[in-house]
Chains A and B, each alone.
Chain A
């Protein structure tokens, strides 16, 4: 894709996203300005409801901001037609979710093939590439397994293989380890790091300081506003800030979030 020399991969100016709920306005994002360089690894943190997922959805072209501009590789996304948006979603962006979102009736390899299916890649090539991608995330012997036959970590690695199969330039991960135990989570994070080392721009929404620690930079959202930007190795400062904002969220042993906040891995 053509790219102007020092144009950031992502540039947000004044991004605001409001929802109408029962006559009142919920402001999920308020006037967000942000630049993300190509190949950067960014963690997005913030209390529950602070707008992290909303930001990711806007970045992934699944949602449109109420106002503001989003430049992706120098092109304003708001001006793109729906066919172009489909192309952007297909070829520039990969998505990974907390709940994996694998299609339950399709095998691992069929799930990984999906993006290629809609991109019109021929069947034989699809199968080859998807198998290779599964092998690359350590699932060579799980190719024909159904999602229900895979562990959480294996499901997320399958989802990762699917998200990156068309070689996007940006990977958006919304709490990718949120549903995993710490060792499965670590495997997934190592794969993300490796992809980032290979040049993939990586944005990870997380509550987990261990996850954020790996990032080049941490962005902190509170009530839809960016309130802090620090390098990844200074995530402790973020935790202190969040402890003031939302003390209960950082209690050890949150349901469904094993290992979050307390144990210090590695």
Chain B
């Protein structure tokens, strides 16, 4: 005669006790709602940021090494004292010529200058580089051509405009062949790029690209801003990096530059995001613990209010196990409802956020949703246990004696 209280009946009975206690139940729910909501929103943001960053790096082009003048602290070793040698065009040329794994090298200088055409003028970023930059960075041309191939030491007065810059100055007219002034220098427009968007902080649509030597003169630079090196194959990245370091170090007689790989940049971001994940976990743990204590409190009140009822249930033939299960079900019902509500609210918040920041592909990862819901259920079970046990341990005679 193994009497089984069916789960449906159990849930129905357990939840009848919430009738008329909407506010109290709602308040104890709140902690779970906030906890789960925080987890959903923050993990969605974290995940969105991760996807965004990965996309950004992918859009840079593949198999790239980037050489910067100066030694960044991240790699440690050298002190602050020494003034670094210039990173020169000769360095770039030597790297391209003598390292087998390297397929192309694009030297880069950067600055801000005025672009002028007739009455129209515009401040924009000016990049001095070579044709290989377009290939390494995968830049698309809409009209005309990119910078001419050939000797990187030969300057010429030509400029390639970003899509937006061209539109602002020339409206719908074709700029190719027109003479503009860049930083006061007369230059002929030889090409307009297709819309590229912003890649890692550089808006390639509002830009003027000129030959490297011209750029160094115009911007008055002796050192490259950076050197973008494309390696033949992904597998060669590490050996290429070592050779680049050895080669430039030999030329400079010290390691006064930094070589970044996409991997090293990505891992810096990854560690930032891992910290975010830890913060999310801490918020979740704290808010769910607080929520659990709230639920425990409400359940303890409920048990003491329903002392007579519990006595009656025993008299009527409810086993201790059934009473325990009924009260646990009530606690889990509260916490799970809070979890679902928090999930719904968090999800809605993320959807709204995406409307306002479409660039951020934010969506809560499945693991976070599952964990948040699982935890909210566990919170009810764990913190409901003490009150439920208290209910089963009531002496039915004393309980029924209460009037």
Contact = CB atoms under 8 A, between A and B. Distances in A.
Interface string B25-64: 0000000000000000000000000000000000000000
Contacts of A82: 319-320
Interface stretch (B4-12, B96-104, B155-163, B348-356): B4-12
Contact of B403 (A89, A99, A105, A166): A99
Interface in B308-323: 308-309, 311-320, 322
A62 B314 contact: yes
Contacts, number: 69
Interface residues of A, number: 29
Interface string B363-403: 00000000000000000000000000000000011001001
A90 interface: yes
B3 interface: yes
A120 B4 contact: yes
B77 interface: no
A191 interface: no
B312 A115 contact: no
A83 interface: yes
A75 interface: no
B3 A120 contact: yes
B319 A60 contact: no
Contact of A120 (B5, B309, B313): B5
Interface residues of B toward A: which range? 20 to 34
Contacts of A90: 3, 316-317
Nearest to A60: B315
A141 to B, nearest CB: 23
Nearest to B403: A99
B17 interface: yes
Nearest to A168: B317
A97 interface: yes
A62 B315 contact: yes
B6 A120 contact: yes
A105 B19 contact: yes
A186 interface: no
A118 B312 CA distance: 12
A101 B320 CA distance: 19
A210 interface: no
Interface string A236-251: 0000000000000000
B13 A117 contact: yes
Given A118-B313, A120-B6, A86 B319 contact: yes
Nearest to B16: A105
A106 B13 CA distance: 9
A62 B16 CA distance: 26
Contacts of B13: 117
A234 interface: no
B317 A86 contact: yes
A254 interface: no
A101 B399 CA distance: 11
Contacts of B396: 62
Given A62-B397, A118-B313, 10 more contacts: A82-B319, A86-B320, A90-B3, A90-B317, A91-B317, A97-B400, A105-B16, A105-B17, A105-B19, A118-B5
27 contacts: A62-B315, A62-B396, A62-B400, A63-B397, A89-B314, A90-B3, A90-B316, A95-B316, A99-B403, A101-B308, A101-B315, A105-B17, A105-B19, A105-B20, A106-B16, A110-B16, A114-B313, A114-B316, A115-B317, A117-B5, A118-B313, A119-B3, A119-B317, A120-B6, A123-B6, A123-B8, A123-B9
Closest CB pairs A-B (n = 7): A90-B317, A120-B3, A86-B319, A118-B318, A120-B4, A115-B316, A95-B315
